[in-house]
Chains A and B, each alone.
Chain A
Amino acid sequence: MKVISANKIKDVISGLCIRANLVLRKDILSGLKAAYSKETKRRAKDILKAIIKNAYIAGKEKLAICQDTGLPVVFLEIGQDVKITGDLRRAINKGVEEGYRRGYLRNSIISNPLSRGRPGYSPVVIHTEIVRGNKLKIIVLPKGFGCENKTQLKMFNPTAKISEIEKFIVDLVESAGPDACPPYIVGVGIGGTADYAMFLAKKALLRKINRQTGKQANRQTKINRLERELLLEINRLNIGPMGLGGETTCLGINIETYPTHIAGLPVAVNISCHALRSATKTL
């Protein structure tokens, strides 16, 4: 049994909020650089150059990569042999508040979705999973809402063809078009229940995006193949950086799956803008 205090978790989350918002993920930065190298259109190249320069300025000058510092989604993978002392939920929200204040990050959360009100820093969205072992993995994903607004879920018939699912995903990216800061990263959740598919789609954004092109690309699993096919198909849409055309509409697509019911086939898609931000620490 490992004992971790809520106070310790608060401090870790505070730091993760700052790191996620100021330092662009390495896999995203290399994806952007690869997109820049292969781009042939002058304007698309200029925009990718600006995006890469933006990441450098953000890291160097400690400025948020994007002014939409998102709604922080906090993922906790809690080992079953971990005991947390203190008020965990409070610690998470406090940690986010502290981090956001310390990092000069934007207060974008309003306390009531209908009456709105003055924006603050919390409460955030928390996902917990129980896993084996005595470790606690904490991930902060500040999710921008321009892209969050493009999210969709579709409950397919269990007899649906893969091509129907592909069409749903590609059509969704096409309808997001220039509005949600392409080039995108696409998270897909397939299976489970409606809510769980959505959770998987978000979780898919946490995985590194180079699987389609990197070392593991040769692993010929069905899902890998589907990811690669979808990536090619989406990039044929020619939406490009800022939607002004170009080789790269999608930097990467990650699919997570889970068993489901005999009567159903839920598919959830959660798009991220090019500024996909997350930071992780394991205690």
Chain B
Amino acid sequence: MKRINTPLTKSEIERLKVGEEILLSGIIYTARDQAHKRLVEAINKNKKTPIDLKGQIIYYCGPTPVPKGKIIGSCGPTTSSRMDEFTPALLKKGILAMIGKGRRSRQVIQAIKKYKAVYFLTYAGCGALLSKYVKKNKPVAYKDLGPEAIYKLEVRDFPLIVSIDTKGISIYK
């Protein structure tokens, strides 16, 4: 299976084709509903976002608390479509990829094509399994949001399926 590492390059991303299975290693950032809302509010007010979004991968995930002796709790993807209204603004700010589950809106697909980004799926409802691929975990922003804070994760061989590629082709009809 194809392996890719962060930071991702534009040309690497453009080579990814819809349906392809990938193992990702490197840094990803979690962000879900409330973090998206805050990021976009900051962008709209021309304020600095707490993490530099350029070139980053956003993972739609709100993990469970970290059990004693573990790196992270259960950490599977949440439904991506709830992030749709915020996604074009983040793509404009330079995020290169998103990881989640389920379909995206037409607007998001168009923005993915426009900014040459990619949307990945990962195993949905498999948070315990996915925790095995996380090697480091640190909350870095919006810590008051608890599970909805932004966590910086270092992952190794995290399993992904290309769901929308840079041409805007989706795995779902």
Interface residues of A (CB under 8 A from B): 47, 50-51, 53-55, 57-58, 61-69, 104-108, 116, 118-119, 146, 149, 177-181, 242-244, 273-275
Verify B81–A64 contact, CB threshold 8 A. Answer: no
Q: Besides A58-B128, A65-B125, A104-B67, 19 other CB < 8 A contacts? A: A50-B129, A63-B127, A64-B74, A64-B127, A65-B74, A66-B125, A69-B74, A104-B64, A104-B73, A108-B147, A118-B144, A118-B145, A119-B146, A178-B103, A179-B102, A242-B101, A242-B123, A273-B124, A275-B125
Given the known interface contacts A104-B66, A106-B62, A118-B146, the answer about A65 and B79 at a Cβ–Cβ threshold of 8 Å is no
Q: Which of B64, B102, B129 contacts A57 (CB 8 A)?
A: B129
Given the known interface contacts A63-B127, A68-B78, the answer about A178 and B172 at a Cβ–Cβ threshold of 8 Å is yes
Verify B101–A181 contact, CB threshold 8 A. Answer: yes
A182 to B159, CA, bound (A): 18
Given the known interface contacts A58-B128, A178-B172, the answer about A242 and B121 at a Cβ–Cβ threshold of 8 Å is yes
Q: Which of B73, B121, B159 contacts A64 (CB 8 A)?
A: B73
Q: Which residue among B64, B65, B144, B159 has the maximum number of chain A CB atoms within 10 Å of its CB?
A: B64
A69 to B147, CA, bound (A): 11
Residues of chain A contacted by B65 (CB below 8 angstroms): 104-107
Q: Which of A47, A67, A104, A178 contacts B102 (CB 8 A)?
A: A178
B108 to chain A, nearest CB (A): 14
B147 to chain A, nearest CB (A): 5
Can you show 10 pairs from A to B with CB atoms below 8 A apart? A54-B123, A63-B67, A67-B74, A105-B64, A107-B146, A178-B172, A179-B101, A179-B102, A242-B101, A274-B125
B32 to chain A, nearest CB (A): 10
A144 to B75, CA, bound (A): 14
B7 to chain A, nearest CB (A): 26
6 closest A-B pairs by CB: A179-B102, A58-B128, A64-B74, A54-B126, A54-B129, A67-B127
Verify A64–B125 contact, CB threshold 8 A. Answer: no
Residues of chain A contacted by B131 (CB below 8 angstroms): 57, 63
Given the known interface contacts A104-B67, A177-B103, A242-B101, the answer about A66 and B127 at a Cβ–Cβ threshold of 8 Å is yes
A173 to chain B, nearest CB (A): 14
Query: In chain B, residues 145-171, which have Cβ atoms closer than 8 Å to a Cβ of chain A?
Result: 145-148, 159, 161, 171
Query: In chain B, residues 2-42, which have Cβ atoms closer than 8 Å to a Cβ of chain A?
Result: 34
Verify B102–A243 contact, CB threshold 8 A. Answer: yes
A8 to chain B, nearest CB (A): 27
Verify B73–A51 contact, CB threshold 8 A. Answer: no
**CB of B117 within 8 Å of the partner chain:** no
Work out how many contacts link A and B, with CB atoms closer than 8 A. Answer: 127
Chain B, residues 68-84, CB within 8 Å of chain A (1/0): the string is: 00100111101101000
Verify B76–A67 contact, CB threshold 8 A. Answer: yes
**CB of B61 within 8 Å of the partner chain:** yes
**CB of B88 within 8 Å of the partner chain:** no
**Which residue of chain A lies nearest to B121 when distances are taken between CB atoms in the complex?**
A242
A142 to chain B, nearest CB (A): 12
Residues of chain B contacted by A106 (CB below 8 angstroms): 62-65, 73-74, 147
A54 to B126, CA, bound (A): 5
B25 to chain A, nearest CB (A): 19
**CB of B132 within 8 Å of the partner chain:** yes
Residues of chain B contacted by A66 (CB below 8 angstroms): 74, 76, 125-127
Residues of chain B contacted by A69 (CB below 8 angstroms): 64, 74
A138 to B125, CA, bound (A): 26
Residues of chain B contacted by A58 (CB below 8 angstroms): 74, 128
Residues of chain B contacted by A57 (CB below 8 angstroms): 128-129, 131-132
Chain B, residues 83-119, CB within 8 Å of chain A (1/0): the string is: 0000000000000000001110000000000000000
A68 to B127, CA, bound (A): 9
Q: Which of B124, B127, B132 contacts A65 (CB 8 A)?
A: B127
A64 to B70, CA, bound (A): 13
A171 to B70, CA, bound (A): 42
**Which residue of chain B lies nearest to A46 when distances are taken between CB atoms in the complex?**
B21
Residues of chain A contacted by B171 (CB below 8 angstroms): 244
Q: Which residue among A47, A53, A64 has the maximum number of chain B CB atoms within 10 Å of its CB?
A: A64
